């Protein structure tokens, strides 16, 4: 699984002009299931993200995790993280999981993050979404499990 995470002061996602997910300080997580991914990879990715020390401590150093800060997670499905741009100008997405597998792993990932005690908000799988965020730092990381 792949994830692009951004430390945010706040973030929200809208579908058809209506906000469906909103968080304060925490992480905006764009997640993509790849062909061959399974529930174990989802759990490993959730644990890694929850424990990443990318939030400032009292000395201003990145030394605290999402678990340490009590921050929230806004989780958005993002199959375009599977893009292959090695040939031509049109990205290919054949490395992504099928839509049914992708939806199941997206839902599993949400469950895995929530099970760690992190408050979550979500987008809508497969929908045309508009994401608004205030990036904090900025801190943006790409993870591949």
pLDDT tens-digit map of 108-121: 999 999 999 999 99
Structure tokens at 68: 């340490």
Structure tokens at 78: 């993002």
The neighbour count for residue 15, using CB atoms within 10 Å, is: 14
Peptide bond before residue 138 is cis, with ω within 30 degrees of 0: yes
- Tell me the mean pLDDT in the region 42-63: 97
Residue of 9, 11, 5 whose CA lies nearest to 30:
5
Structure tokens at 73: 């997670």
Structural domain boundaries of the chain? 2-129
- Tell me the mean pLDDT in the region 93-108: 96
Report residue 13's pLDDT band, with 50, 70 and 90 as the boundaries: very high
Task: Please report the pLDDT score of residue 122 as a whole number.
Answer: 98
Residue of 141, 138, 7, 4 whose CA lies nearest to 77:
4
Q: State the pairing for strand pair 62-64/55-56.
A: antiparallel
Fold classification of 2-129 is 3.50.80
Task: Please report the pLDDT score of residue 119 as a whole number.
Answer: 97
Q: Show the CA angle centred on residue 122, arms to residues 121 and 127, nearest 5°.
A: 155
- Tell me the mean pLDDT in the region 81-95: 95
Residue of 108, 145, 136, 141 whose CA lies nearest to 30:
141
Report residue 1's pLDDT band, with 50, 70 and 90 as the boundaries: very high
Residues belonging to the active site: 78-80
Q: What is the mean pLDDT of the chain?
A: 97
């Amino acid at each position: 699984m792949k994830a692009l995470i951004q430390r945010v002061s706040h973030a929200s996602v809208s579908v058809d002009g209506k906000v469906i997910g909103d968080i304060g300080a925490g992480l905006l997580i764009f997640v993509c299931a790849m062909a061959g991914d399974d529930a174990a990879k989802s759990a490993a990715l959730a644990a890694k993200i929850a424990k990443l020390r990318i939030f400032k401590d009292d000395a201003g150093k990145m030394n605290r995790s999402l678990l340490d800060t009590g921050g929230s997670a806004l989780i958005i499905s993002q199959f375009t993280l599977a893009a292959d741009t090695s040939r031509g100008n049109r990205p290919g997405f054949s490395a992504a999981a099928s839509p049914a597998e992708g939806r199941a792993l997206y839902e599993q990932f949400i469950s895995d993050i929530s099970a760690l005690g992190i408050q979550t908000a979500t987008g809508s799988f497969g929908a045309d979404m508009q994401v608004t965020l205030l990036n904090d730092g900025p801190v943006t990381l790409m993870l591949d499990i």
